Structure 1
Amino acid sequence: MGKTELREVSTGNCRVLLESVPLGRLAFVHDGLPVIRPVNFTVAEDAIYLRAGRNSWADRISGQPVTFEVDGYDRADRTGWSVIVTGIATLATDIETVAGQLGNDLRSWAPPPRDRLLRIAIGRIDGRLIAHPGESGTTE
């Protein structure tokens, strides 16, 4: 194991990394305290979509700013990456979007019913990579 360095990831590669994993973490504020929920998701155009149940936290955060994080790592090599998205969460209600996303194999890993579709607009996307010097990684 050699020395590593921290690098910024380009916006385009952040998007590639975001779409490369099935599970992320949604962070929001509830009752004045930060909350983080692991969720499976899909990405379409400029938004992240996930399913949630009725009368759940998804109803309470609609219209609120949220942060969404995904990452990957190599434990043995001590390298990895992280992508963070910030945006506004809204419940998707138009039939075309709901049908399109639910038809994209967006199946919640949590038990049913999960009949709500939460849309997170990708307002800002940033990423960081820990890699060995000379490795191109995913920064370009």
Structure 2
Amino acid sequence: MDSTTPSPDYSLTMDQCWVLLDTEAVGRVALIVDSHPEIFPVNFVLERRAIVFRTSGGTKLWGAITSKPVAFEIDGYDAHDEAAWSVMARGEAELIESQEEKDAVDALLLEPWQPGEKAYYVRVAPKALTGRRFKVNRPDLWTTRLSDPRRSTFE
């Protein structure tokens, strides 16, 4: 079995999760803010087996550095294999303060997508990393929404 083939129970190994994380640029960070969950889309890079994103001061930054624990999630669909997958990391977030560490992240081309200053670098070091992949049902040609990515298998 190679590093991208799921195990028979569809669970992904930790290495498979890291490979998938490395193929994506956008994920979602889930935080507890004012006693309720909030989810924020972020673009990110992997740096030393950790997920790093940049943000401005505000709700996301405050939630990331005060919320224990945090979760991070990505998902996708492979039209060729007709399979969907998701990866979830759980851990704690920490503010990167060292300029040397910020420079290392910048060297990985972590460029904010949203305009405005994103001066704060946040690292999520997973304590748990899980994922799964599964075959999706074949879409019905006549009733499946046009935006459903499964349609690409018969278009």
TM-score range relative to shorter protein = 0.7 to 0.9
Q: Quote how far apart the aligned CAs of 1:76 are.
A: 8.8
- Asked if the contact 1:6–1:131 (Cα under 8 Å) also holds between the matched residues in 2, the reply is no
Question: Match of 1:31?
Answer: 34
Q: Distance in 1 between matches of 2:35 and 2:59?
A: 17
Q: Distance in 2 between matches of 1:105 and 1:14?
A: 21
Question: Match of 1:88?
Answer: 92
Q: CA distance change for structure 1 residues 59 and 6 in 2, over 3 Å: closer, same or farther?
A: same
Q: Distance in 2 between matches of 1:56 and 1:34?
A: 12
User: Matched residue of 1:112: which SS?
Assistant: coil
Q: CA distance change for structure 1 residues 55 and 37 in 2, over 3 Å: closer, same or farther?
A: closer
Aligned partner of 2:13 among 5, 10, 20: 10
Q: Does 1:58 align with 2:61?
A: yes
Q: For 2:93, give the aligned amino acid.
A: A
- Runs of 4+, deviation exceeding 3 Å: 74-78
- Asked if the contact 2:12–2:132 (Cα under 8 Å) also holds between the matched residues in 1, the reply is yes
Given the two structures, how large is their TM-score scaled by the length of structure 2?
0.75
Q: Distance in 1 between matches of 2:80 and 2:23?
A: 20
Question: Match of 2:77?
Answer: 73
User: Matched residue of 2:10: which SS?
Assistant: strand
Alignment of 1:88-127 (within 5 A): 88-127=92-131
User: Matched residue of 2:11: which SS?
Assistant: strand
Q: Distance in 2 between matches of 1:29 and 1:75?
A: 34
User: Matched residue of 1:122: which SS?
Assistant: strand
User: Matched residue of 2:61: which SS?
Assistant: helix
Percent of aligned pairs with the same amino acid: 31
Q: Quote how far apart the aligned CAs of 1:116 are.
A: 0.5
Q: Distance in 2 between matches of 1:7 and 1:41?
A: 26
Relative contact order, higher structure (CA 8 A, sep 6+): 1
Q: For 2:57, give the aligned amino acid.
A: R
Unaligned 5+ runs, structure 2: 1-7, 137-155
Rg (Cα) greater in structure: 2
User: Over aligned residues, Cα RMSD in angstroms?
Assistant: 2.0
Structure 1 range deviating more: 119-128 or 58-67 = 58-67
